[in-house]
Structure 1
Amino acid sequence: MAVTIHRETTESSERIYEGKIVNLRVDTVRFQNDKTGKREVVEHSGAVAIVPVLADGKTVVLVRQWRTPVGAPLLEIPAGGLEKGENPEECARRELTEEIGQTAGHLVKLYEGYSAPGFCNEKLYGFLALDLSDESADHDEDEFVERIEMPLAEAIAAIATGEIQDMKTIAGLTLADRYLAN
Structure 2
Amino acid sequence: METVSSRQLYSNRWISVREDVIRRADGEDALYAVVEKSDFAIVIPQDGERFHLVEQYRYPLARRCWEFPGGSVAGSVDPIEVARQELREETGLRAAHLLALGRIAPAPATSTHYGHIVLATDLTEGPHEREPEEQDMRSAWFTRAELETMLTDGAIVDAQSVAAYALLLLHERRVAAES
User: What TM-score do the two structures reach when normalised by structure 2?
Assistant: 0.92
Q: Counterpart in 1 of 2:50?
A: 59
CA contact (8 A) 1:46 1:124 kept: yes
Residue 126 (str. 1) matches residue 110 (str. 2): no
Match of 2:9 among 12, 16, 40: 16
CA-CA distance at 1:180 after TM superposition: 4.0
Q: Counterpart in 2 of 1:147?
A: 139
Match of 2:28 among 30, 35, 40: 35
CA contact (8 A) 2:97 2:122 kept: yes
Work out the CA distance in 2 between the residues paired with 1:148 and 1:178.
24
Q: Counterpart in 2 of 1:50?
A: 43
CA contact (8 A) 1:48 1:88 kept: yes
Residue 174 (str. 1) matches residue 166 (str. 2): yes
1:36-79 Cα offsets, whole Å, 9 max, x none, are: 0010000001111011012xx00000011000111111110001
Work out the CA distance in 1 between the residues paired with 2:12 and 2:62.
21
CA-CA distance at 1:178 after TM superposition: 4.1
Q: Counterpart in 2 of 1:98?
A: 89
Name the structure with the higher helix share: 2
Work out the CA distance in 1 between the residues paired with 2:123 and 2:172.
15
- Runs (5+) with no aligned partner, structure 2: none
- Runs (5+) with no aligned partner, structure 1: 1-7
| Aligned residue pairs, count | 173
SS of equivalent residue, structure 2 residue 133: coil
| TM-aligned CA distance change 1:81 to 1:46, over 3 Å | same
User: What TM-score do the two structures reach when normalised by structure 1?
Assistant: 0.90
Work out the CA distance in 1 between the residues paired with 2:18 and 2:101.
31
Report the aligned-residue RMSD. Answer: 1.3
CA-CA distance at 1:177 after TM superposition: 3.6
SS of equivalent residue, structure 1 residue 165: coil
